[in-house]
Structure 1
Amino acid sequence: MHSISTTELFLIAMLIIFSIPYLTWRILNTDYYAPLVVVQIIAGILLGPGVLGAAFPAYYEFVFTPSVIQSLNAIAWWAVMLFVMIAGIELDLKKAWEHRRESMITAGLALGTPLIFGCIAAAGMLLFAGWIAPGAAPWQFILGVGMACAVTALPILILLMEKLEVLRQPIGQRILRYASIDDIAIWGVLAIILLDWTRVGRQAAFLVLFVVATILYRKLMIKLQQRDRWYVALIWLAACGLAADWAGLHYMVGAFLAGAVMDAEWFEQEKMDALRHHVLLVIMPVFFLSTGLRTNWGVGGIAVFAAAAVLLIASISGKLAGVHLAGRILGWKKGEASIIGWLLQTKALIMIIFVNILLDKKIITNETFTALLLMAVASTMLTVPVVHPKLQKLKELIFRSS
């Protein structure tokens, strides 16, 4: 009898990863409520050990052997590093500085208010067992979960605004400015959460070396032709990820920093958009499945769903409250804050990446990770159905530049 090899099992897993979400998305025509990216995330959860794996353990144990999971994880690591680097490159801080008063007020309130709401929800979760990882400090858990509620998923926000046909319009560019500022704050807070006093020497050395290396790297990139810049950027990405992980800050922090110090002008916008699209198409589905494989319902399915609902309420209400307050301060028109707030509450990928790091660093448990993952999916699925009708009623806001 033919003994199935690891290679064959790996290809079976890849067949599952790419076929099931795509067919579901196409046959059920879910694009309005759930873009393909969201369907892929949901499929990852359903195919994981907590749902289909629990119902059919023989299937799960047969396909997802330790060797297959290890191979999938390796692809997922590189996929998410590329994705986070692109998010860093797409930060438009020059525009944010040009409109600094409006941008700082809006971004500050859009981040700070849901952060407070999320921290309150996280503090409530600490009253029950099973949510905080053993050995994690309560402040790390509270701040980590709170920041997860405050995150805006910049790359997915771009995709959704493309769908709504507002990305290149003034309101879309404004929203990108707000999200860009918050993106920097998110990774800065993550660095604080991950601060390891046993490795503080390494982390200080990393930051000093990174500043020096960045200066040299930027001088080099300016001199290179564009075709060489793409390849050198990948070398820079691998080096930054390695250095950050060595310092105890996690390789994804390094990936974000690698992109954040690059100028978008170094690359053609069409090629950057194409790269993001191809990364999402070719390798990010592997990350979605590997994320789903980490879900767990150990404290009980009802408890996980209840926690997800509380976190979703904290996230959305906090984001809308913060943006509405900014709108009052800045004198926005009626309905404007609601549209901007709903778009900025989009979670999906960046939050999933964020909580993957919290799980890797043993700050949250798999149960908390699962609740946050469900919250991210629900948040993203709500965006287009809520925002689209609002935009149809208030079309003049699309062209409002400030």
Structure 2
Amino acid sequence: MITTELFLIAMAVIFSLPWLVWRLGRTDYWAPLVVVQIVAGILLGPGVMGRVAPEAYTFVFTPAVIQSLNGIAWWAVMLFVMIAGIELDLKKAWVHRRESGITAGLALGMPLVCGCVAALVMLSAGSGWMGLQAQTWQFVLGVGMACAVTALPILILFMEKLEILRQPLGQRILRYASLDDIAIWGVLALILMDWERVGRQVGFMLAFFVIALLFRRLMRWLQERDRWYVSLIWLAVCGFGADWAGLHYMVGAFLAGAVMDAEWFDQERMDLLRHHVLLVMMPVFFLSTGLRTEWALGGYAVFAAAALLLVASVAGKLMGVHLAGRVLRWGPGEASIVGWLLQTKALIMIIFANILLDKAVITSDTFTALLLMAVASTMLTVPMVAPKLARLRELVLRYH
């Protein structure tokens, strides 16, 4: 078959398999469609399908097909990260800076420390986890931050499902996640700092700061219908600049969105854009992510590492938020709800891990363990939160 036909077969599989499992299996409560798509990407990768049905795998996923899928995946994830940057609401975080700062700091700091300890345990257990281009501190900090990540876009989807997004509790949680997002991308930039190209990276940041000021003036002057189009040009330019400087195109995508104000765009249209990117393009990213999974160290070792990382991630997040709740004197049960929602990983952690893999900070085995951890932690969120909300519904309307 020619590449076009194989590409369309791959696209049919990418969209049909997760949807059938999600719909027929009625998994929405504990595994929303986005989680099923991530799992399907793993199953269709070389670690599972490549071993169970190697002929079918190599027949469909040829190098040309994989390259075509990667192109779609790159643009999809850049759009998704830009939207996450746009939706950051730092103004409200500043108004409630004491409460937001304490909660966000502990919610990020505790799982970061626990994740760093888990990374050191992995290194002590044997080689094969750290990438060839990484120094030990980069690997430890990268894995630690992967355990601390909160996936802001998926958090929004979950809170919509739980009907708390527009309530005071939901808005508070968004503030905490927004501050953590800033820290996550800042730490990533530090990990990716290339001291041989530090001049280029500093030059990019200085140029970005100046050009961003001019860009913001332009966007205020434009009508909304033009802002949507110009934002895509801005996304491509920022992605190119960051990648050229040695940071990563997704760092550029986040910066592109972070300097834009959500007020410039109609909120319903922004929600629709996020929905359409998730529907039309992100499943390709999930598949391309699955194609990068490896089990070279053996399934038991990878699953053991994933379990260790899951414990570090969830326990660290819950400990941090419970400590914040004590300091801020929250009511009974409040910290548990906030902590479980903030440990949602899914997309942003997977994006973060993809960058670490691209830059050879981690190996494919570590990437696979992180991916399994992200899926498991995200699947726990709704089943753990929904019963608590049913018992403590008054928390939804309480404002701090």
Shorter chain as denominator, the TM-score bin is over 0.9
User: Partner residue of 2:23?
Assistant: 26
User: Partner residue of 2:264?
Assistant: 266
1:219 to 217, 220, 230: 217
Alignment of 1:174 with 2:193, yes or no, is no
Q: 2:189, 2:340 → 1: CA distance?
A: 27
Q: 2:338, 2:44 → 1: CA distance?
A: 34
User: Partner residue of 1:9?
Assistant: 6
- Displacement of 1:235 in angstroms is 0.2
**Does the 8 Å CA contact 2:151/2:345 hold for their aligned counterparts?**
yes
User: Partner residue of 1:356?
Assistant: 354
Aligned AA (2:14): I
What residue ranges of structure 1 are gaps of 5+ in the alignment? none
Deviations 1:12-57 (A, max 9, x none): 0000000000011000000001000000000000010001111110
Q: 1:367, 1:229 → 2: CA distance?
A: 41
User: Partner residue of 2:185?
Assistant: 187
Alignment of 1:114 with 2:115, yes or no, is no
User: Partner residue of 2:389?
Assistant: 391
2:283 to 273, 285, 299: 285
2:84 to 75, 79, 87: 87
User: Partner residue of 1:316?
Assistant: 314
Aligned to 1:340, the other structure's residue is in SS state: helix
Q: 1:194, 1:129 → 2: CA distance?
A: 22
User: Partner residue of 1:210?
Assistant: 208
How many pairs align?
399
Alignment of 1:17-166 (within 5 A): 17-127=14-124, 128-166=126-164
Deviations 1:80-138 (A, max 9, x none): 00000000000000000000000000000000000000000001111111100123100
Runs (4 or more) in structure 1 with deviation over 6 Å come to none
Deviations 1:329-353 (A, max 9, x none): 0000010000000000000000000
User: Partner residue of 2:365?
Assistant: 367
Deviations 1:311-338 (A, max 9, x none): 0000000000000000000000010000
- Displacement of 1:152 in angstroms is 0.2
**Does the 8 Å CA contact 2:133/2:359 hold for their aligned counterparts?**
no
Q: 1:248, 1:49 → 2: CA distance?
A: 29
Q: 2:255, 2:308 → 1: CA distance?
A: 32
**Does the 8 Å CA contact 2:42/2:48 hold for their aligned counterparts?**
yes
Instruction: Tell me how large the CA RMSD over aligned residues is.
Output: 0.4
**Does the 8 Å CA contact 2:354/2:367 hold for their aligned counterparts?**
yes
- Displacement of 1:307 in angstroms is 0.3
Aligned AA (1:197): W
Aligned to 2:371, the other structure's residue is in SS state: helix
User: Partner residue of 2:273?
Assistant: 275
Aligned to 1:126, the other structure's residue is in SS state: helix
Q: 1:176, 1:151 → 2: CA distance?
A: 13
Q: 1:26, 1:49 → 2: CA distance?
A: 25
Aligned to 1:156, the other structure's residue is in SS state: helix
Aligned AA (1:124): V
Q: 1:401, 1:315 → 2: CA distance?
A: 27
- Displacement of 1:401 in angstroms is 1.2
Alignment of 1:376 with 2:360, yes or no, is no
- Displacement of 1:186 in angstroms is 0.1
Q: 2:158, 2:21 → 1: CA distance?
A: 19
What residue ranges of structure 2 are gaps of 5+ in the alignment? none
- Displacement of 1:258 in angstroms is 0.2
Q: 2:339, 2:257 → 1: CA distance?
A: 26
Alignment of 1:246 with 2:255, yes or no, is no
Q: 1:334, 1:305 → 2: CA distance?
A: 35
Deviations 1:127-166 (A, max 9, x none): 1111001231000000000000000000000000000000
User: Partner residue of 2:303?
Assistant: 305
**Does the 8 Å CA contact 2:147/2:309 hold for their aligned counterparts?**
yes
Aligned AA (2:207): L
Aligned AA (1:351): M
TM-score by length of 2: 0.99
- Displacement of 1:224 in angstroms is 0.3
Aligned AA (1:91): L
Aligned AA (1:36): L
**Does the 8 Å CA contact 2:111/2:313 hold for their aligned counterparts?**
yes
TM-score by length of 1: 0.99
Q: 2:390, 2:24 → 1: CA distance?
A: 27
Aligned AA (1:401): Y
